[in-house]
């Protein structure tokens, strides 16, 4: 099964995705980690490289029957379609989750109070989050508003969705 988290920075993706990966002993793929490793090894990246690496790693692990949790902004139809293709080509189930923070003041507070947990990684500013090229989803997915749902309830909701999809 491929579990893909998407949403703007500061919505809680990493916190929830990491806990889901722990609970299900899943392979955890974080775009920020991949992109920072690429920048550290080769310099500036265009933006597609991190996602391309993640799609390939996801497909490889899905072939082995592993649960894969992808933690990414997943901002565009092309990125969402590529995750779907990885699931399809490996005959894997797919759970897509979009995290939102509907309270703009709380979202800004979260973005501005975060501390980087990846060496060398520079977190986006609030202005950068506002300018992010995030296209509204049109596909079915589980949407969680982390303004209304605390972390433990969000993790429980996602866990229940995964278990239901495994049946």
Q: What is the pLDDT of residues 31-56, one digit of tens each?
A: 999 999 999 998 887 678 999 999 99
Q: Give the domain CATH number at 147.
A: 3.40.50.300
Q: Which of 68, 4, 72, 2 is nearest to 32 (CA)?
A: 72
Which of 23-32, 47-56, 66-75, 122-131 bottoms out in mean pLDDT, i.e. has the lowest?
47-56
pTM: 0.96
Q: How far apart are CA 107 and CA 111, in angstroms?
A: 6
Range of 76's domain? 2-166
Helices (H), 64-99: 77-89
Instruction: State the total domains in the chain.
Output: 1
The model's pLDDT over 134-151, given as tens digits with 9 standing for 90+, comes to 999 999 999 999 999 999
């Amino acid at each position: 099964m491929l579990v893909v988290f998407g949403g703007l920075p500061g919505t809680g993706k990493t916190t929830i995705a990491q806990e889901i990966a722990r609970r299900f002993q899943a392979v955890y793929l974080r775009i920020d980690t991949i992109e920072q490793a690429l920048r550290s090894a080769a310099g500036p990246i265009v933006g597609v490289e991190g996602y391309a690496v993640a799609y390939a790693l996801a497909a490889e692990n899905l072939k082995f029957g592993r649960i894969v949790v992808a933690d990414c902004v997943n901002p565009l139809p092309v990125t969402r379609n590529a995750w779907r293709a990885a699931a399809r080509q490996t005959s894997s189930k797919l759970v897509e989750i979009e995290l939102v923070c509907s309270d703009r003041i709380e979202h800004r507070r979260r973005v501005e109070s975060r501390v980087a947990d990846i060496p060398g990684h520079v977190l986006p500013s609030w202005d950068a989050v506002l300018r992010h090229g995030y296209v509204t989803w049109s596909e079915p997915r589980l949407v969680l508003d982390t303004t209304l749902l605390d972390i433990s309830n969000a993790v429980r909701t996602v866990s229940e969705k995964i278990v239901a999809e495994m049946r």
